[in-house]
A and B are shown apart, each in its own frame.
Chain A
């Protein structure tokens, strides 16, 4: 029989083991780590370097520094989405059933999955962040810690969003749909490549409903706090943080509901 430990510990164990599984698989799959690191590097040093020749602001933040928060955001976006969308794989290959028939609350499953995405995404973001000296940044310890904390919270929010998406899809054929119609637009409309304030009105609206925008914006506040020109952050820092927290909560609640018994 199952022993009677406190219910909180039971839920904690479930969350822990779901994260541990993801972490173990992440360590084992070198190719996954490699490809999620390679993508931001390509954008940073090829696309970024190219465009910075084209747009060379006389004052303020150089372009390659400007896109750095966006590239961190991209690393997180891809990695968190992949992690959450692995739920579709788990459904297809049956492992999700093993989790769903276990005596743990559906919210623990969602939180475990969201934290899985958070852990692997934050690790990758930190690897990219370590490049900052090569881009001409001079960051203090508090700035570094601040960026890492923001990376972790965006990772959680995007992972939770990915879980919501994954609950709507039954098979991995839908993966390319998510890739082309959700992930790519989310990246382009996040203020990663160009300031939101310079966008045409309709794209501005689209950027404002994109949760990633606020994460990227929060990092801009920390990475270039003294920029006042057109490359400056688009929203107040407090708004950025509030949006990240509120969207995280909303996505977790929706995902938790979606995980309840079907049909």
Chain B
């Protein structure tokens, strides 16, 4: 297990940002932390990448204790934070070179690695431009490139597509899903976009600091009760009986359409077609989304909670820090 978290808790005064969470991440996979803003995702990342100490509990990254061996953890990880952390007054090339020095990349490999990274994210042509001239998508790509340059074992991505246009988001996703194979890196990402979490090998759904569900996207979706198959036929009455006999499942009718709930919609459709094929006019399959999972678990849609709580907890953490520093 490349990441191991045991009973991790982080409190800021009376607010519990992370509440007794435990999970493990397998090497070479994409692990997603899914939840509304303010759920505790960023706090967890900050603890894992040694920027924050937990109130209690333990965390290990690449076999090293995040509290006791922060230097070893830092060597093993790359991070792309939610807000950009590039120096806008330096060029793309200079930002990456800065990074190679901090991570002690051997001198003779430095230039080659920086150029490779720039080519990988399609920014080689712009290498000598100041970062302040870059678009949001370009900056994010540059940060991913920077995060990989020292060949980390784990890459943390905190809301990597936040604030990007749909085109850049799609590009970035395509690119992220290739990372484990191309760079032998484990990806730990957070998002509040359901569609994005679909690409993960495993997802933990987090709400109000607690992990409320964990599993592969398919496993999670199965918990909400399976797929719904809608069928339009020339003869609803007879077809309904035939399907019920064949599958042993209850079929209902609504607005001239038959529908049934089954576990594996994709395999039960062909089975039905073999017997009732000639009567069928149209078939559609509706699979549960991760949003349905979240809805079922918390009673609310994930998007509803977007802006206000995020601001709330961020302000709160800031105020807390200020008080502590004085």
Say yes or no: B52 contacts A262, CB within 8 Å: yes
CB of A261 within 8 A of chain B? yes
Instruction: Give 1 or 0 for each of B61-102: 1 = CB within 8 Å of chain A CB.
Output: 000000000111011010101011111111000100111011
The interface size of chain A toward B, counting residues with CB under 8 Å, comes to 34
| Chain A residue contacts of B53, Cβ below 8 A | 261, 263
A173 → chain B closest CB, angstroms = 12
Say yes or no: B83 contacts A101, CB within 8 Å: no
Say yes or no: B86 contacts A103, CB within 8 Å: no
Q: Smallest CB-CB separation from B101: which chain A residue?
A: A17
Say yes or no: B51 contacts A14, CB within 8 Å: no
CB of A94 within 8 A of chain B? yes
CB of B225 within 8 A of chain A? no
Q: Smallest CB-CB separation from A11: which chain B residue?
A: B104
CB of A176 within 8 A of chain B? no
CB of A30 within 8 A of chain B? no
Q: Which of A103, A168, A170 contacts B74 (CB 8 A)?
A: A103
CB of B318 within 8 A of chain A? yes
Q: Which of B52, B81, B326 contacts A94 (CB 8 A)?
A: B81
Q: CA A16 – CA B318 in complex, angstroms?
A: 32
CB of A2 within 8 A of chain B? yes
Q: Which of B83, B103, B321 contacts A262 (CB 8 A)?
A: B321
Instruction: Give 1 or 0 for each of A3-28: 1 = CB within 8 Å of chain B CB.
Output: 10100011001101100010011001
B152 → chain A closest CB, angstroms = 9
Q: CA A103 – CA B105 in complex, angstroms?
A: 12
Say yes or no: A103 contacts B75, CB within 8 Å: yes
Q: Which of A9, A10, A97 contacts B51 (CB 8 A)?
A: A97
CB of B189 within 8 A of chain A? no
Say yes or no: A263 contacts B79, CB within 8 Å: no
Q: Smallest CB-CB separation from B109: which chain A residue?
A: A3
Q: Which of A1, A14, A167, A170 contacts B322 (CB 8 A)?
A: A170
Q: CA A99 – CA B146 in complex, angstroms?
A: 13
Q: CA A13 – CA B107 in complex, angstroms?
A: 10
Q: A261-B70, A262-B324 are in contact. Are A95 and B104 (CB under 8 A)?
A: no
Could you say which of B52, B84, B85, B106 has the most chain A C-beta atoms within 10 Å of its C-beta?
Answer: B85
Q: CA A262 – CA B12 in complex, angstroms?
A: 12
Say yes or no: B85 contacts A95, CB within 8 Å: yes
Say yes or no: A1 contacts B106, CB within 8 Å: no
Q: Which of B84, B85, B98 contacts A17 (CB 8 A)?
A: B98
Within 8 A of A (CB), among B294-321: 317-318, 320-321
| Chain B residue contacts of A168, Cβ below 8 A | 325-326
Interface pairs (23), CB distance under 8 Å = A2-B151, A3-B104, A5-B104, A13-B102, A17-B101, A28-B89, A94-B81, A94-B83, A94-B84, A94-B85, A94-B86, A95-B85, A97-B51, A98-B99, A101-B79, A103-B72, A103-B74, A103-B104, A104-B102, A168-B325, A263-B52, A263-B53, A263-B317
